[in-house]
Amino acid sequence: MEVLSIESISKNYGKIQALKSVTFTVSTGTVFGILGPNGSGKTTLLGIVMDILQPTSGTFKLFSVNPVADHRKQIGTLLETPNFYHYLSGEENLRIAASIKERGTNDIHKVLTMVNLYERRSSKFSTYSLGMKQRLAIASCLLGDPEVMIFDEPTNGLDPEGIAEIRELIKKLHHEGKTIIMASHLLDEVEKVCTHVAILKKGNLLATGDVNEILVNEDIVEIGATDLGKLRSVIAMMEPKLNATENGQLLQLSYPVGKARLDDINDHCFKHGLILNHLSLKKKSLETKFFELTNN
Amino acid sequence: MGKLLRIEWMKIKGYRTFWVLTTLFLISIVGINFSAYYLKQETTQNNAQVNMIMGAPFSFPNVWHTVSYLSAFLLFIPGLIIITSVTNEYTYKTTRQNIIDGWSRKQFIHVKIALVILLSAISSVVVFLTAVLFGSISEGHFSLLNIEFIGYYFIQALSYSMVALILSLLIKRSGFAIGIFFIYAGIIENVLGAFLNYKTSGMGSFKGLGNYLPLNTTDNLIPFPFFRQVVKFGTDSPVYVLLTLSMIYLFLYYVFSVRKFQNDDL
């Protein structure tokens, strides 16, 4: 089943086009990453899905039907920043959220414990640190044990330990069968926790699909020898033909994921009387891939 | 609506500014009337002539009129309360969060309108009790004659608070909204009203057009209550015209605020 399907949504802020006819779907049980640099339209898109922004054109469906307010009660959402009443305590804020959601108020202490805020539950929200505010927002998403959660930059403002905790939490929720939609500008984060991804740049959808197909599709082998010219000609004799690019004193060979055989390369060169002084396998750096994807 | 108001109650229960302003407002209603009552007692005590001109503004049935009129000067305070309560939600982005958590936009704006009605009703009850209090300590017997002024006060309270609500929805920032509210209610409408009245003074049926501006219309429901034996203040407009127009304005405020909130980017 489809949790969310977005159909050619556009959004203009005056002359600026924040989203340009974006279309994709999110299936049940996936961790769906919306990846894009700052200002690419991630939050705008989620804002439209949450009915706090009006699309200029286009429609979307939640749970395969036209969206209504009650759908949002079944989705835990953290959008952009933690939004709470500053003069109320963490617990009082969650009580308001839980009352609106109408999915029970019994689990407030449980979700506060899950994000390590139970001890500070009675402190005013205004006294919380940035990381605590973020954790309260995540606790609020967990209220009522929803099947679908939307996290917009969930690790914003968290320390490394907090970031690791949240990623573990997302993985755990995924294993419980929940659907998670996560917006992030951190490629590494999407790669670590998401099963599917949509890449946005300046409001355009660049790609969408399985994270392994879109983000990591080749391995790089770096080789070096004293005589670079000879190395090039020896490599050119290899079967099948490889795509070789020069990078300083090294050659870079591209292979499909998992297909690179370092011993074969070494063996081939040795047979042709060439001694390698450098041989290493590198996953293509994610940043490189990201720039590639967003720079065409 | 009960469920929605209970959530609104959770929001304001811990909000100190709300309680300080509300308490101040309700005390001021008694206070402003006491000041006027005291002043009147002082000036007329040993002066039969002044006493005659003043009449008995704090005796039944005049007291309903007098207390409604004086209390209406404080209506900027509930306006202030509404502005802080609405712009706060924009500042904290809790408008967004309430919608995200599952309220419809329609529910959100209707809770705020319900707050306007509730606040106006509570202050009308306090005005009623204040009138009973000052009527009882003055000469004369209890009478419900002129009680309609309490109703006019209620309409006037709704009108001020709805204007405050609309400004909050339009401006979204508290300081700015409060500033515009005071400038509009205190200066613009009065100046514009006087100007229109001056310009239309010789125009027959358009005469006194300035009296029909949004806040002036409801203000004029309760004319100046003192010295009525000597001189009459306010408009010549019959009450039913003012009442009808007030209702139309309130209806338009309602439609506008709901539509504005439904179609806005929050």
ipTM field:
0.89
Mean pLDDT of the region A22-50: 94
Q: Amino acid identity of A247?
A: N
User: What's the whole-number mean pLDDT along residues A12-32?
Assistant: 94
Residue labelled with tokens 């506008």: B256
What is chain A's percent helix, strand, coil content, to nearest 5?
A: 35, 30, 35
Chain B residues with CB under 8 Å of A47 CB are 265
Report d(CA A7, CA B59) in Å as an integer.
70
Report the gap between the CA of A92 and the closest CA in chain B (Å): 8
pLDDT of residue A189: 85
Q: Which of A68, A83, A97 lies at the smallest CB-CB distance from B96?
A: A83
Range among A61-70, A161-170, A191-200 with highest mean pLDDT value: A61-70
Q: What is the mean pLDDT of chain A?
A: 89
Q: Is the pLDDT of residue A8 over 60?
A: yes
Nearest chain B residue to A75 by CA: give it.
Answer: B101
DSSP state of A89: B
The proportion of chain A whose per-residue pLDDT surpasses 90, expressed as a percent, equals 58
With CB atoms and an 8 Å threshold, state whether B10 touches A52.
no
- Give the global pTM: 0.87
* A12 shares contact with chain B (CB less than 8 Å): no
Return averaged pLDDT per consecutive 10 residues of chain B, 266 residues in all.
94 94 96 94 78 82 94 96 96 96 96 97 97 92 92 97 98 96 94 90 78 91 78 72 96 98 92
Min CA distance, A100 vs chain B (Å)? 6
Q: How many residues does chain B have?
A: 266
Q: What is the CA radius of gyration of chain B?
A: 20
The whole-number pLDDT of residue A273 equals: 87
Close Cβ partners of A36 (under 8 Å, ≥ 6 residues apart): A42, A183, A185, A199, A200, A201, A294
The verdict on a CB contact (< 8 Å) between B6 and A99 is yes
Quote the CA–CA distance of A83 and A155 in Å, as a whole number.
15
Closest CA to B74 of B38, B26, B113: B26
Q: A–B: how many Cβ contacts below 8 A?
A: 79
How crowded is residue A106: how many other Cβ atoms within 10 Å of its Cβ?
9
**A247 interface with B at CB cutoff 8 Å:** no
Give the CA distances from residue B260 to residues A8, A14, A231, B214, in Å, rounded to whole numbers and listed in that order.
26, 18, 70, 19
